[in-house]
Chains A and B, each alone.
Chain A
Amino acid sequence: MTVLLFFMPMFMFLVGTWIYISKRKHLMNMLISLEYLVLSIFMLLMLVTFLMGLETYVSLIFLVASVCEGSLGVGMMVGMVRSHGSDYISSFNVLKC
């Protein structure tokens, strides 16, 4: 029963990863999928710490870090829009910085 509980966050994790790596048009897709991933990992973390009888505040620390990461991602997207004109992934060139 407790193992079955893990299915949903795992499924969320896999779906989020799938969206992250698949080839889409916008950078915003990647950032939203990252937030989704964060949510799934938050849920997993809460579940694991509760079911093992540990303190659950570690998930708060994780949340703080993930918020910083989200804002960093948005800042990078803004920079990209300023330099490349839009957030299309196809305007990236791996060979040119």
Chain B
Amino acid sequence: MFVLSMWNLIFLLFFSFSFILFFSSMLFLNLSYSLYLSWNIFSWGSTDINMIFLLDWVCLMFLSFVLFISGSVFYYSGEYMEGEINLSRFIFLLAGFVGSMGLLIFSPNLISILLGWDGLGLVSYCLVIYYQNYKSLNAGTLTVLSNRVGDVLILLGIVWMINFGDWSFVAWLGSSNSLILVSALIVLASLTKSAQIPFSAWLPAAMAAPTPVSSLVHSSTLVTAGIYLVIRLGWVYDFWMNELLMILSVLTMFMAGLGACFEFDLKKIIALSTLSQLGLMMYSLSLGLVKVALFHLLMHTLFKALLFMSAGCIIHGFKGWQDIRMMGNMMISLPFISSCFVVSNLALSGMPFLAGFYSKDMILELSLMEELNLLSLFMLFLSTGLTVAYTFRLIYYMVRRDYVMSGSGNLSDGWGVMVKSCIGLVTFSVFFGALISWLSMDVNSIILPKSLKNLTLTVCILGLILGFFMSQSSYTFSKMKFSLMIWFSGSMWFLPYLSSQPMTYIPLKLGSEIMKFGDMGWLEYLGGQGISSYISNMSLKIQIMSMNSLKVFILILWILVSVFMFF
């Protein structure tokens, strides 16, 4: 029975909006139509302050995907977050998040993009620290501070854009030095939001958030905001930061793929796979393939949200346990959820004709046609193979092998609400790849020699063998001989340690020194305690001086008067 609670109400609202927006985006695409809505807030003489919304098919499609996933997540949270005391807080935070994302998607000018961007950062912080314990606090601090760096960079971009008189992308006519600077700042800001290499420590740490939050925020919307911003930029400028973007994105892909092969926490593996796919999207942007990056972005949101949601169903069944070493035999106990899990994993690794295949294969083949250096190409395909490897490792651990925790309790589908919320996503992650590519993507002609054409498939099959069969004998690989390499690879090349410890050591040390020598030392000597002891000493002396006979004062008065009279 369909209870009309707040969850379901919002789910219905978002679902209907999502379908309306999708069909409008198709309409706009076919008619090559875009809508520029501008609200003149006030104008003084020659200065206008306008609130602008630019509706074209890209924003409408992306927003329809975002609303679809949010609707499913709201319906899903109706079961996942049952028994939660602060339900209204959660609903408000999620709704605020979707609102900020909508503002970001529809805005063509940098100020309202900043509003949406900052809103995303703030609301995602509140959502990460939702469960109030120390782990969530640390994760939230890392998240918000990494995102803050991006905010600062966008603010600098706003400052530099004042020269143009208009903060919209439509003002970018011609090329000048300021344009290079502003676009460089915006690309760097998107690096922080999309967790590329120097700033990638926050994404696995942010898995301390509840699973519906992870599936909405950290898979589909928050981390794709950076990519989306560069895509919007990509229609306007000419990509001056290609080399840097390529290096960082390839390194991110590789690091994340490697890390996911050694990780044992379910949500962290999925976070690292998100990171790897974000690296792939940034990589295709650095090649200048803007539309393909957008396509991969849209497909990725579908199957990644599905992956998080089915993982959440499993975690809920285990009452919060997330370690995959204790999971097994899902196919018997949770058949539908493990089917969704396997389908989304296959879509992620580029199984032919599922959703991820169309976009991912397009990127790989188009990059083979470019004149790239061997190293980046090698690492791209290595990362693709690693994607398949950790995917099948996960499938082995969760679905294929037999019970590990025998007698641990029963694993069931609950009320079926979480299961039903995955239906839409799994359907779309199977069909939408083909659908979107037929409806809206350009037809690229791929001209490759046979060996390169088969390279993708070969790499995927090798990765499958590596992941699936090597993980069955995982005990032999945990010997002490390779432990430093395993620690290095598994902990993301020590980036979390690098992002947290050195950054906090100096401020904390300085803070303690200021506290000890300043606040409790010299400032007290010159301020509170020092002045009070001085005053009490002096008043003691004055008291001693004034405890005399009255006659002394009269004598002094007479002396003064006589002196005054005679001079």
Whether the Cβ atoms of A23 and B551 lie closer than 8 Å is yes
The B-contacting residues of A in range 10-42, CB under 8 angstroms, are 17, 20-24
Which residues from 520 to 550 on chain B have a C-beta closer than 8 Å to any C-beta of chain A?
543, 546-550
- A5 near B: Cβ within 8 Å? no
A22 to B547, Cβ gap below 8 A?
Answer: no
**Residues of chain B within 8 A of A93, CB atoms compared:** 547
* CB-CB contacts below 8 Å: A39-97 with B: 89-90, 92-95
Q: Which residue of B lies closest to A92 (CB)?
A: B550
Which chain A residue lies CB-closest to B551? Answer: A23
B375 within 8 A of A: no
Which one, A17, A20, A23, contacts B552 given CB within 8 A? A23
Q: Could you tell me if A94 and B550 are in contact, using CB atoms closer than 8 angstroms? A: yes
Chain B contacts of A92 at CB under 8 A? 549-550
- Measured CB to CB, the closest approach of chain A to B541, in angstroms, equals 13
> CB-CB < 8 A to B546: which residues of A?
94-95
Which B residues are in CB contact (< 8 Å) with A90? 549
CB pair A89–B551 under 8 Å, yes or no, is yes
CA gap between A21 and B555 in the complex, in Å: 5
Interface bits B332-363 vs A (CB < 8 Å: 1, else 0): 00000000000000000000000000000000
Contact, CB under 8 Å: B549 / A95? no
Minimum CB–CB distance for B196 against chain A, Å? 75
Q: Is B558 engaged at the interface, CB distance under 8 Å to the other chain?
A: yes
A22 to B550, CA, bound (A): 10
Q: Is the CB of A94 within 8 A of B547?
A: yes
| Interface-centre pick from A17, A21, A95 (highest chain B CB count, 10 A) | A21
Whether B558 and A89, one on each chain, are in contact in the complex, defined by CB atoms closer than 8 angstroms, is no
A11: shortest Cβ distance to chain B, in Å? 16
Tell whether, in the assembled complex, residue B549 and residue A23 are in contact, meaning their CB atoms are under 8 Å apart. Answer: yes
Evaluate whether A94 and B551 lie within 8 angstroms (CB atoms) in the complex, with A17-B558, A21-B558 already known.
Answer: no
Residue of A nearest to B557 (CB): A21
Chain B minimum-CB-distance residue to A27 = B550
Q: Contact: B554 with A20, CB < 8 Å?
A: yes
Question: What residues of chain B lie closer than 8 Å to A95, measured between beta carbons?
Answer: 543, 546-547
Inter-chain CA distance A92–B550, complex, in Å, is 7
Closest to B559 in A: A21
B131 CB to closest chain A CB, in angstroms?
A: 64
In angstroms, Cα B552 to Cα A92, docked, is: 12
B553 interface hit (Cβ, 8 Å): yes
A24 touches B551 (CB 8 A): yes
B553 touches A94 (CB 8 A): yes
Chain A residue contacts of B549, Cβ below 8 A: 23, 89-90, 92
B547, B549, B554 interface centre (most CB from chain A within 10 Å)? B549
Task: With CB as the reference atom, state the residue of chain B lying closest to A17.
Answer: B558
Which residue from chain B places its CB closest to the CB of A22 in the assembled complex? B551
B547 in contact with A89 (CB, 8 Å): no
Closest to A29 in B: B551
User: What residues on A are CB-neighbors of B548 within 8 Å?
Assistant: 94
Residues on A with beta carbons closer than 8 Å to the beta carbon of B551: 21-24, 89
Complex contact B550–A89 (CB within 8 A): yes
Question: Complex formed: what's the CA distance from A67 to B555 in Å?
Answer: 25
Q: Which of B103-138 contact A (CB under 8 A)?
A: none
Determine the chain A residues whose CB is within 8 A of the CB of B552 once the complex forms. Answer: 23
Task: Give bound CA distance, A48 to B549, whole Å.
Answer: 37
In the assembled complex, the Cα of A93 lies from the Cα of B546 at a distance in Å of: 9
> Which of A22, A90, A93, A94 has the most chain B CB atoms inside 10 A of its CB?
A94
- Residues of A with Cβ closer than 8 Å to B? 17, 20-24, 89-90, 92-95
Supply 16 further A-B pairs (C-beta < 8 A) apart from A17-B558, A90-B549. A21-B551, A21-B554, A21-B555, A21-B558, A22-B555, A23-B549, A23-B551, A89-B549, A89-B550, A92-B549, A93-B547, A94-B546, A94-B548, A94-B553, A95-B543, A95-B546
Q: Identify the B interface with A (CB < 8 A).
A: 543, 546-555, 558
A–B Cβ pairs within 8 angstroms, 27 of them: A17-B558, A20-B554, A20-B558, A21-B551, A21-B555, A21-B558, A22-B551, A22-B555, A23-B549, A23-B551, A23-B552, A24-B551, A89-B549, A89-B550, A89-B551, A90-B549, A92-B549, A92-B550, A93-B547, A94-B546, A94-B547, A94-B548, A94-B550, A94-B553, A95-B543, A95-B546, A95-B547
The 6 closest A-B pairs by CB, nearest first: A23-B551, A21-B555, A92-B550, A21-B558, A94-B546, A21-B554
